[in-house]
Structure 1
Amino acid sequence: MERYGDELMRTAYLLVKDKQAAEEAVMDTFIQAYRKIDQLQDPDRLKSWLLRIAVNRCRMKMRAWSWSRIFPLPHVEQMIIEEEPGPEALLMDAWRNEKLSEALLKLDYKYRETIVLFYYNGFSVAEIAEQTSSNENTVKARLARGRAKLKDMLEEQEDGNETGAGANVHESKA
């Protein structure tokens, strides 16, 4: 739990957008892993196996609930930030990570899941395809579309901040 708990929590939170639901998914993951440890064929793939269980638990939670908009946790950027050498660099990274996290949480689940597995967990396209029961071309397309949507959202936020209309940027999309 200590070894993979933080990574599973970050992944679960980025997928379900709710701290309590993410904690439940992670606990369910460890319970299921404990019960089915005999099904782990390659101990070297423990991390991948746990992440697969966690992603499946998150999918089950997403299916069980009717999600409209869930507000992100304050300071979600702290879950993503790595240590940086000066306060100015840390502040800028925190701001960028906050904006990226906000945009990521607004993506459709299929794009968010693919991006989280690829960029935050370091899975290859083939591993994501296997985990999501998709083909590799679908994964590549989701990565490309997800990146394009993120880029558009971030540019839209940036344009809104420059014109002073940052508060109204997303009203038309609600």
Structure 2
Amino acid sequence: MNDNSALYAFNKFGDTVLRTAFAMTGNYTEAEDITQEVFLALHARPQDFESDEHMKAWLLRSAINRCKNLRKSARMMKNSPLDEALASTLSCEFTPRDNEIREMIAKLPEKYSSVIFLYYFEEYTVKEIASLLGKNENTVSSLLQRGRKKLKTELEKEGYVYEN
């Protein structure tokens, strides 16, 4: 089996790409579409990857870019209540509390939501996130810190209590 094939990539990282897209869009249907687009792009234009981690990074970067494009699109400006209702009922393997927090993360500006998701859900280091996003490590650290503050503020508004 060719380790760089789209099928291999899908079998190995399909769930990860779907979770990333879902966390960033807050909509399971959109996340499925983005996941499909990512793997179709890989199939149409095969890449040479140095390792599985390189492949995973490429797939996640591709998914994040598509999520950014979706957020900017006119289609997202016309989000229907039905889409929101469906998204809230589909959990994508998150617990209800995780789902609430994920929804709060998705509502953050993209620059914060992407670093928070990659750091906490995908367990990338700051250095790996910087490489993946093409940003300076200090920038990623700052975005992570500011994103945590914004998320904490939003969660406190919703009644979450933190124990230090």
TM-score (norm 2): 0.75
**Structure 1: 5+ residue stretches without partners:** 82-93, 160-174
2:42 matched residue in structure 1: 33
2:16 matched residue in structure 1: 7
Instruction: String of CA shifts for 1:81-136, please: whole Å, max 9, x gaps.
Output: 3xxxxxxxxxxxx3432331232122111111111111111222122222222211
Q: Which amino acid aligns with 1:141?
A: S
Instruction: String of CA shifts for 1:10-67, please: whole Å, max 9, x gaps.
Output: 1001112222222121111101112232x32313322222112211222222233364
Q: What is the CA–CA distance in structure 1 between the aligned matches of 2:77 and 2:70, rounded to whole Å? A: 14
For residues 46-61 of structure 1, the aligned pairs below 5 Å read 46-61=55-70
2:52 matched residue in structure 1: 44
1:112 matched residue in structure 2: 113
Is structure 2 residue 164 aligned with structure 1 residue 156? no
1:89 matched residue in structure 2: none
Percent pairwise identity: 32
Does the C-alpha gap of structure 1 residues 55 and 102 become closer, same or farther in structure 2, counting only changes over 3 Å? closer
Q: Conserved in 2, the CA contact under 8 Å of 1:52 and 1:131? A: yes
**Structure 2: 5+ residue stretches without partners:** 1-9
Q: Tell me the number of residue pairs that the alignment of Structure 1 and Structure 2 aligns.
A: 146
Q: Which amino acid aligns with 1:29?
A: V
2:140 matched residue in structure 1: 139
